[in-house]
C-alpha cells in the first residue's frame, strides 16, 4: 500500500506519470499496489496490457524518450526477461548514445514472487543482472517507508530506474508519512549499530538480517546492519565506514552467488579497505542453482535467519 500511495500522489502531481503493465486492474496481479488507480486516473493513464512484455516495455521507453514518466510494471519478474532489449539496449544506452541530448525517465518495476514450490521460472531475482548494466539504476526497498520513498524517487529520477520488490515483504505493516516524500537513490540506511560485524543486505534479506541481529544481540554479538536500499549506485561510503568500525564483513544476497551483488561488495571493500579487515569477508547467497519446487529443496535453497546466525557467529569467533 505504501507503493500504491507513492503512485497515487505522483500521478496526481504530475500528469506525465502513467502506469502500464499486465493486470493493473486485477487484484490478482499486483495485489493492493494498484488499488484505486484506474478508478481515479482512468484507462488512459493506467493501462492494462496484453501479455506482450517486449512491446509494452518498449512503449514505456519510447514514451519516456518522448517526454512522459511511465512506470512499467511486471507483476512477475521472470517475465521481464522478454523486455531485456528495450530495458538494456535502448533505455540504458539512450542517454549516452545521444550524447546527453535525450534522457529516459522510466521506472521498470519488477516484483519477485517466490517460494511456495513455484520452481525455476516463478522465483528469480535479477538485481545483479540489471546492476551490471551501465545506465540503469537499481533500487530494492526493504521497508514500507522506503518502498514509498524509493518509488517516488524512481518516478522523479530522470534516468531509467529498475525498482525491485519482493512479495515476501508485502506482509510488513508500518505507518508511512502521508506526505509526498522521497528516499534518495544511492543512500543506504544503517538499521542497527554494532561493533562486531558489518552485515550488508537489501530487500527481504535485510528483514532476515534484522531478525538475526536481534537474536545475536542476546548472545552479545553486536551486528551493524547496513540496508543498501539502492543496489546501483550502492552506497560505498556507508559500507566502508561501517567496515572500518567493525573490521568484519558479511554480505547477504537474495540471488545467486557467481558474479553477483555480494561478490561486488566484497571485492570493493577488499580493494578499498583491505587494512581495516580483521578476517576474510563472507557472503550468504542462493546456491548457483535454479529455484527448486519441492518444499524440502526450497528449505535448503533459501537462506534463513539460522543460516545468518551460524555464519555470523563463525565470523566473529575468528581470531583477530
Instruction: Pick the binder of another protein from 38, 102, 277, 297 (CB under 8 A).
Output: 297
Position 23 contacts another protein (CB under 8 A):
yes
305 binds another protein (CB under 8 A): no
294: contact with another protein by CB under 8 A: yes
Residues 101-160 that bind another protein (CB under 8 A): 116-122
Provide the β-strand partners of residue 72.
20, 108
DSSP characters over 222-236: -EEEEE-SEEET--H
Binding of another protein by 272 (CB under 8 A): no
Residue 279, interface with another protein (CB under 8 A)? Answer: no
Q: Is 33 within 8 Å of 1 (Cβ atoms)?
A: yes
Check binding of 184 to another protein (CB under 8 A). Answer: no
Establish if 193 lies at the interface with another protein (CB under 8 A): no
* Closest distance of CB 298 from another protein, Å: 8
Q: Is 287 in the site for another protein (CB under 8 A)?
A: yes
Neighbour count for residue 79 (Cβ, 10 Å):
16
* Torsion angle (degrees, nearest 10) of CA 154, 175, 198, 150: 0
**Shortest approach of another protein to residue 38 CB, angstroms?**
13
Annotated catalytic residues are 53, 122
Cell numbers 522521497 correspond to 182
Pick 120 or 280: Cβ nearer another protein: 120
User: Using CA atoms, how far apart are residues 139 and 231, in angstroms rounded to an integer?
Assistant: 5
How long a stretch of residues is the chain?
320
Cis peptide preceding 92, ω within 30 of 0: no
Binding residues for another protein, rule: CB under 8 A, are 22-23, 26-29, 48-55, 78-79, 81-82, 116-122, 287-290, 292-297, 299-301
Amino acid at each position: 500500500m505504501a507503493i500504491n500511495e507513492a503512485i497515487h500522489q505522483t500521478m496526481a502531481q504530475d500528469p506525465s506519470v502513467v502506469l502500464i503493465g499486465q493486470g493493473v486492474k486485477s487484484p490478482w496481479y499486483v495485489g493492493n499496489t494498484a488499488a484505486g488507480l484506474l478508478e481515479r486516473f482512468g484507462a488512459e493513464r493506467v493501462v492494462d496490457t496484453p501479455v506482450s512484455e517486449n512491446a509494452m516495455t518498449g512503449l514505456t521507453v519510447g514514451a519516456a524518450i518522448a517526454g512522459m514518466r511511465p512506470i512499467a510494471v511486471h507483476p512477475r519478474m521472470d517475465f521481464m526477461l522478454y523486455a531485456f532489449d528495450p530495458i538494456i539496449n535502448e533505455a540504458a544506452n539512450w542517454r549516452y548514445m545521444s550524447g546527453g541530448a535525450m534522457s529516459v525517465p522510466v521506472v521498470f518495476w519488477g516484483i519477485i514472487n517466490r517460494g511456495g514450490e513455484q520452481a525455476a521460472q516463478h522465483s528469480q531475482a535479477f538485481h545483479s543482472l540489471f546492476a551490471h548494466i551501465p545506465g540503469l539504476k537499481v533500487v530494492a526497498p526493504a521497508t514500507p517507508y522506503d518502498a514509498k520513498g524509493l518509488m517516488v524517487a524512481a518516478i522523479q529520477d530522470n534516468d531509467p530506474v529498475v525498482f525491485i520488490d519482493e512479495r515476501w515483504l508485502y506482509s510488513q505493516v508500518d505507518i508511512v508519512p502521508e506526505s509526498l516524500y522521497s528516499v534518495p537513490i544511492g543512500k543506504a540506511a544503517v538499521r542497527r549499530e554494532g561493533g562486531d560485524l558489518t552485515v550488508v543486505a537489501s530487500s527481504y534479506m535485510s528483514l532476515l538480517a534484522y531478525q538475526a541481529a536481534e537474536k545475536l544481540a542476546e548472545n552479545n554479538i553486536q551486528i551493524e546492519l547496513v540496508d543498501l536500499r539502492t543496489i546501483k549506485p550502492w552506497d560505498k561510503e556507508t559500507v566502508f565506514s561501517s567496515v572500518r568500525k567493525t573490521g568484519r564483513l558479511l554480505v547477504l544476497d537474495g540471488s545467486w552467488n557467481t558474479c553477483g551483488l555480494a561478490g561486488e561488495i566484497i571485492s570493493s571493500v577488499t580493494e578499498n579497505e583491505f587494512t581495516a579487515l580483521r578476517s576474510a569477508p563472507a557472503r550468504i547467497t542462493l546456491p548457483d542453482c535454479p529455484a527448486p519446487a519441492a518444499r524440502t529443496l526450497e528449505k535448503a535453497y533459501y537462506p534463513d535467519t539460522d543460516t545468518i546466525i551460524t555464519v555470523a557467529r563463525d565470523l566473529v569467533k575468528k581470531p583477530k
